[in-house]
Each structure stands twice: as structure tokens, then as C-alpha cells.
Amino acid sequence: MKAAASRSVGIRDGSELAKMELKLLLIQYEWFQNKLEELGAKVQPYFTVASTFYIKWFSTYP
């Protein structure tokens, strides 16, 4: 049993793998967050123009 335990992945290695996975997930999250901000910055002017148009259009009705 001791021999099998010495070759086992065990808690320590599993813990290291979990830490690596968490780091990768955080990197992915940050990447997606940056892309979302970039997309928002590109799209925002179009929403501003459309909002201004509709506000002016609706204000012409009593």
C-alpha cells in the first residue's frame, strides 16, 4: 500500500492542478472583460446617435 501511495497523484498535485486551472480561468475572464469593454467602446457611439434621433423624433409628438 505504501508503494502505491508513493506513486499516487495525491492531494498536493491535485491542488496544484486546481490552482493552475483557476489561474487560467482568471486569465480568460480578464481577456473576455477587456474584449467586452473594447466592443462597448466601439458600439457606444451608435447607441448615442440612435438615442438622440429617437428623443428628437418622440418630442415632436404631443
Mean pLDDT on 36-61: 77
| Average pLDDT score over residue span 31-44 | 91
56 has a pLDDT exceeding 90: no
How does pLDDT run across 6-32, given as a tens digit for each residue?
Answer: 666 566 667 888 899 999 999 999 999
- pLDDT, position 7: 64
36 alpha-carbon distance from chain centroid = 8
pTM value is: 0.55
Handedness of CA 37, 41, 42, 43 (dihedral sign): positive
